[in-house]
Amino acid sequence: MSVALMKINIEGGEYDLLYRMIETGLVESIENIQVQFHNFTVDAKRRMERIQEALQRTHRLNYQYRFFWENWVRKGDAR
């Protein structure tokens, strides 16, 4: 299974969702991850940076507007 685009804007829930997707390997089935990290959660900056570091293993950053939108493209996929 492969998902072309997953757009995540869930008002702080993105942290737990992405942690779990990375932990289970599900993140590898997503071609493009477009996420809005929210900065009103506890330790938002640190949590975002941890997720970004983990995403770098499977994806590359395509664009980033910090705490607004960013897009990650799975490595090996054209873009």
Given a cut of 80, whether residue 77 has pLDDT beyond it is no
Q: End-to-end CA distance of the chain, in Å?
A: 20
Tell me the pLDDT tens digit for each residue of 1-44: 799 999 999 998 999 999 999 999 999 999 999 999 998 988 99
Q: Where are the domains of the chain?
A: 3-74
69 Ramachandran zone, left/alpha/beta (phi>0; psi -120 to 50): beta
Q: Quote the pLDDT of residue 54.
A: 97
For 12, list phi and psi in degrees, rounded to 5. Answer: 100, -20
Spell out the CATH class of 3-74: alpha beta
CA 77 from chain centre, in angstroms, equals 16
Q: Packing angle between helix 14-24 and helix 44-55, nearest 10 degrees?
A: 30
- pTM as predicted: 0.87
